[in-house]
Amino acid sequence: PVAPVHRWHAMRSVRIGLTTLATLPVLSLAHPFRSTFVPSLKGCLPTRALDLPSCLAFAPPPIRTSCAGCSRHRETGYPFVVLRQTRQSMSGGSATAEDGPDEVLRYWMGDEFVQGNYEAMKMDEYQKNRMKIWYGGGAELDKEIADKFSDLIRAASGAKLSSGEWATPKGVLARIILFDQLSRNAFRKKKEAFAYDEEAMQLSRGLFNNNLTKGLPTYAVCFVGMPLMHSEDLQDHYLAEAGVADRRDDKGIQAFLKHLKEHSEVLERFGRYPHRNSLYGRETTEEEQEFLSGPDCPGWAKSQLVTDD
């Protein structure tokens, strides 16, 4: 099967025989979502799912399709749709408010997560590849994320997302990733990097308090807990710890708890995150300045020092 990397709409639907269909090089693009579409006055409407393997080892029987607004039915041949691309793929364009959460989840969590292949997420290769994005950082990655997701982050904050999928646990996870992770890359060193923290924290609290993380794999649960780790309220840290308590034996959760402890220790020492003082217009104490400029200051604090006005 071919990964769905494009969004498409039908220009027209036609009926062709299996022999011709087998020779078309664009077959895999013609059915990226295993569905066929018919045009109508109201736009492209999905009809019955088309279960046609790209290898053409077998094909379904002819199926009945019709266009909304007319009574014409075509019952011969195999369904095929001539397509036009309506927006750029994720490799070259930005996600929009019309996109569903899978665009975000595929970029951040990988195809394995979107496809539900959670066993693959336990493999070293998956973790190695993801860590490059999660913690590798760099100006090039920041620019890529800014280009792809800046508009979507702002749209999500403005409640302008059109798909109901954003309200599901996975959709909430995608919004958390937008507000708490991608925002830090897209707006690094700027105040906007932290502008969506409260929204992310509210979403995280909701998932944990309502026990909605049980069906999520380990790394997804870690990202649910991240906004609470970033909170300056230790009560949120306690909630994050409690939310992953039943997975303490997992290595990924153990790494998360270690990271959480580092954050908690800073709050216990200063009562706040010193690297955010300029963000909130707070005066930095001498002790905090020594911490920020000293060797004991963790990389996650130094990387998020705000430098804009």
At 290-304, the pLDDT tens digits run: 999 998 888 888 877
Domain membership flag for residue 141: yes
Domain membership flag for residue 47: no
* Total domains present in the chain: 1
**CA-to-CA distance for 226 and 259, rounded, in angstroms?**
10
For 272-278, which contacts have Cβ atoms below 8 Å and span 24 or more sequence positions?
272/232, 273/232, 273/301, 274/301, 275/301, 275/302, 275/304, 275/305, 275/306, 276/194, 276/232, 276/304, 276/306, 278/305, 278/306, 278/307
Domain membership flag for residue 189: yes
Domain membership flag for residue 256: yes
129-172 pLDDT, tens digit per residue, is 999 899 887 899 999 999 999 999 999 998 888 788 999 999 99
Domain hosting residue 143, numbered range: 101-271
Task: Decide: pTM greater than 0.85.
Answer: no
Quick one: pLDDT at residue 235? 97
CA dihedral for 209, 211, 216, 217, sign (positive or negative): positive
**CA-to-CA distance for 183 and 302, rounded, in angstroms?**
16
Quick one: pLDDT at residue 163? 81
Domain membership flag for residue 33: no
Domain membership flag for residue 116: yes
Q: Which residues pair with 16 in a beta bridge?
A: 78
Domain membership flag for residue 147: yes
Low-confidence ranges of the chain (pLDDT < 70): 1-93, 95-98, 308-309
Quick one: pLDDT at residue 308? 66
Domain membership flag for residue 85: no
